[in-house]
Amino acid sequence: MYRRVMTALLQATLRLDVAINRIYPTDLNPLYYTGGLTNLFLFILVVSGIFIFLYYVPSLAGAHASIVYLTDQVPYGGLIRGIHRYSGDAFFVAALLHLFRNWFTDRYLISRDSPWISGMFMLLFGGFVGITGYILVWDERGLAVLAILDRMLRSMPAIGGVLGDLLIGGTGVGEGTLPRILLLHVGPASLLYALLWWHYVRLRHPKVWPPATWVLMSLGLVILLAAVIPAVSGTPAAPGARPASIPLDVFFLFPLWLATIVPPFLVVLLIAVLFVLGFVIPYVSREPLQEMGVRHPGVAQVIDGNCTGCELCYYDCPYNAIIMVPSPYPGLSRAAASRKLLAVVLDSRCVECGICIGACPFEALELPGLLETEVMGRATEAIRVPEAARV
Amino acid sequence: MADPQSRYVIGVYALGVLGLIFAVVIVLGEALGGPGPRRVYWLVGGAGLGLILMVYGFILLLLRKLAIAGPRRAEAEDDLRGRWTKPVP
């Protein structure tokens, strides 16, 4: 059932690619740059966030007033605040598109589990950073978001009380609350870049940035939104006063909106189950390897005598599993005799795909369990015309 | 205008004129903007900035379609000549 659904989703994704490729040139298809777009919006968030940080006062009396001052008095302050708001929304949308696309097209298998797992952590931290951003405005909606988040944390058994106290700096809102929320907003956002390093480390040629066309259009759209629908603050928060009924954004604050309808503990449980299932996806392959007829051909081996140091295997390996080192001795073949570099395979990174074998023009790489002579023999056998069919 | 190339060229010129208009909007926004009630002009200037960036993005897209910009010029030229959509004989 899962495999049928995933196959259908893969086909739908590929059909969408084909449709978009009719409009844009293939190297400008925005669906190929969902990760790069997420990175772009993260960069815009950081730059606009630094500007806002310079004016923000993390105190109960000063927070709301500082944001209003930034919006009304600082030149283009309201615009930059809006850019921060809408690029946060765009970051989340792009991240979800990136997740769904890589899930439906099976880009999490074997050693791509590293980017998948780091991506799940980035989604979790990114969502949390977004929620704390709502709180920092310190209007009635921010206070409502804080109250719901506090209830969700405290609903967790055993550790709930501790987590709730850590969040707001005690049992109730006080002067220590907003500095903590600010730390929880800026800290995980900075951690996202460390997670981004983990995300890229096992990828070869990742598309970390969208093409110029999409950078301009995305940035332009965010700025236009910020100008046409300015971000505004509501009534200043009044802790201790009877909270008004505040409508919450159902899409971006979905877990908090859900926590106003069902018991908060169930929402926390749902989030935990979803993330555990998400982490498990790379290890629940669509077909067991035995059914695919895959045998392990062994980690690629460099035949030292033939390697010329041309670096073709180094550039072609999708898993960064080949490095070039200064050659300690000349090669045996004529082409390899004057080499400067020698290829070395990192066993821990090699997934035995054989791409390096195809890349090498000097027969300097082999898979020990699937030699080139065997592959040639099988290919010859496969294309041989049977005796009965010969004219 | 059956020729896609001339459509794209006209598009580039038209977008260029739009870009000039939005540049004027940006300057007006800066000139008239100020704190308090006049901050709406800062937002107007911001809208002009957002629109001009989008216009530049579209111009780049059209230049790509014209095979003037972009890494795969041969593919763009084939696209221009309709080689991707014509059935193979």
Interface of A with B (CB under 8 A): 24-28, 71-76, 78-79, 82, 212-217, 219-228, 230
Tell me the C-alpha to C-alpha distance, in Å, between residue B41 and each of A48, A75, A89, A222, B29.
Answer: 20, 10, 25, 18, 5
**Would the CB atoms of A228 and B47 count as touching at under 8 Å?**
yes
Chain-wide mean pLDDT for chain B? Answer: 83
Among A228, A249, A283, which residue terminates a domain?
Answer: A283
- pLDDT for position A146: 93
For A83-92, how does the pLDDT look when each residue is reduced to its tens digit (9 = 90+)?
999 999 999 9
Last residue in a domain, options A283, A317, A352: A283
A181 or B67: whose pLDDT is higher? Answer: A181
Q: Is residue A110 part of a domain?
A: yes
More reliable by pLDDT, B69 or B89: B69
Partners of residue A237 on adjacent β-strands: none
Same domain, A240 and A315: no
For the packed helices A34-55 and A63-72, what is the interaxial angle rounded to 10 degrees? 110
One domain for residues A239 and A320: no
Amino acid at A165: D
Please answer yes or no on whether B70 and A227 come within 8 Å at the CB atom: no
- Per-residue pLDDT tens for A311-366? 999 999 988 889 999 999 888 888 888 899 999 999 888 888 889 998 999 989 99
pLDDT mean over B57-62: 93
Q: How far apart are CA A235 and CA A365, in angstroms?
A: 69
For residue A59, CA distances in Å to A65, A66, A132, A146, A312 come to 10, 10, 15, 15, 58
3-state secondary structure string across chain B: CCCHHHHHHHHHHHHHHHHHHHHHHHHHHHHHCCCHHHHHHHHHHHHHHHHHHHHHHHHHHHHHHCCCCCCCHHHHHHHHCCCCCCCCC
A74 to chain B, closest Cα gap in Å = 7
Q: Tell me the residue range of the domain where A348 lies.
A: 301-389
A68 neighbourhood in chain B, CB within 8 Å: none
A296 within domain boundaries: no
Q: How far is A170 from chain B (nearest CA, A)?
A: 38
Residue entry with tokens 């954004």: A249
Answer yes or no: is A317 within a domain. yes
| Contact between chains at A25 and B33 (C-beta distance less than 8 A) | no
Min CA distance, A242 vs chain B (Å)?
Answer: 31
Chain B residues touching A27 at Cβ < 8 A: 70-72, 75
The minimal CB distance from B42 to the residues A78, A216, A222 is found for A78
Closest-CA distance, B14 to chain A, in angstroms, reads: 17
Closest alpha carbon within chain A to B77:
A25
In a domain? residue A326: yes
Whether residue A292 is contained in a domain is answered as no
Which of B54, B55, B66, B77 is the mutation pick for testing A, counting most A CBs within 10 A? B54
Question: What 8-state DSSP symbol labels residue A63?
Answer: H
In tens, the pLDDT along B3-38 reads: 778 889 999 999 999 999 999 999 999 999 888 888
Q: With 60 as the cut, is the pLDDT of residue B46 above it?
A: yes
CA distance B39 to chain A (A): 7
Please state the pTM of the whole predicted model. Answer: 0.83
- Using a CB–CB cutoff of 8 Å, tell me whether B43 touches chain A: yes
Count of domains forming chain A: 2
In terms of domains, do A122 and A46 share one? yes
Tokens (6 digits) for A330: 């000349």
- Contact state of A25 with B36 under an 8 Å Cβ cutoff: no
* Minimum distance, in Å, between the CA of residue A66 and any CA atom of chain B: 14
Q: What gap in Å lies between CA A225 and CA A87, rounded to an integer?
A: 10
Q: A271 with A345, same domain?
A: no
User: Whole-angstrom Cα distance, residue A78 to residue A299?
Assistant: 57
Show the beta-strand stretches assigned E in chain A. 301-302, 322-326, 341-345, 365-366
Q: Which residues of A touch B86 (CB under 8 A)?
A: none
Q: Which helix (H) or strand (E) holds A71?
A: helix A63-72
Residues A226 and A343 reside in one and the same domain: no
B63 contact residues in A (CB cutoff 8 A): none
* Structural domain ending residue among the three candidates A220, A255, A283: A283
Same structural domain, A306 and A379:
yes
Q: What is the CATH number of the domain that holds A341?
A: 3.30.70.20
Give, for A40, the enclosing helix (H) or strand (E).
helix A34-55
Spans of chain A, pLDDT less than 70: 241-245, 285-296, 387-391
> Is there a single domain that holds both residue A79 and residue A181?
yes
Q: Which residue in chain A has the smallest CA separation from B72?
A: A27
Facing residue for A25 by CB, picked from B33, B50, B79: B79
Cα separation values, B14 from B25, B55, B77, Å: 17, 10, 22
Query: Is pLDDT of B73 > 70?
Result: no
For residues A124 and A96, state if they share a domain. Answer: yes
Judgement on whether residues A154 and A245 belong to the same structural domain of the protein: yes
Q: Is the ipTM of this complex over 0.90?
A: no
Above 50 in pLDDT, residue B88?
no
Per-residue pLDDT, A184: 93
A171 and A260 in a single domain? The answer is yes
**Within-domain flag for A294:** no
Task: Confirm or reject contact between B87 and chain A (CB < 8 A).
Answer: no
Q: Are residues A275 and A153 in the same domain?
A: yes
pLDDT at A297: 75
CB contact under 8 A, A219 and B42: no
Phi and psi of A186, rounded to 5°? -80, -40
Nearest CA in chain A to B85: A22
Same domain membership, residue A116 and residue A37: yes
Does residue A293 belong to any structural domain of this protein? Answer: no
- Verify whether the Cβ–Cβ distance A220 to B50 is below 8 Å: yes
Q: What does the pLDDT read at residue A390?
A: 62
The answer to whether the beta carbons of residues B71 and B65 sit under 8 Å apart is no
Within-domain flag for A324: yes
Burial level of A208, CB count in 10 A (0-12/13-18/19+)? Answer: middle
The number of beta carbons lying within 10 Å of the beta carbon of residue B65 is 22
Residue A198's domain is classified under what CATH number? 1.20.810.10
Residue of A nearest to B84 (CA): A22
Cα A26 versus chain centre, distance: 22
Q: Which residues in chain A touch residue B46, judged by CB atoms under 8 angstroms apart?
A: 76, 79, 82, 223-224, 226-227
**pLDDT of residue B86 exceeding 80:** no
**Residue B16 near chain A (CB below 8 Å):** no
Are B75 and A228 inside 8 Å of each other by CB? Answer: no
Question: E strands of A259-336, at which residues?
Answer: 301-302, 322-326
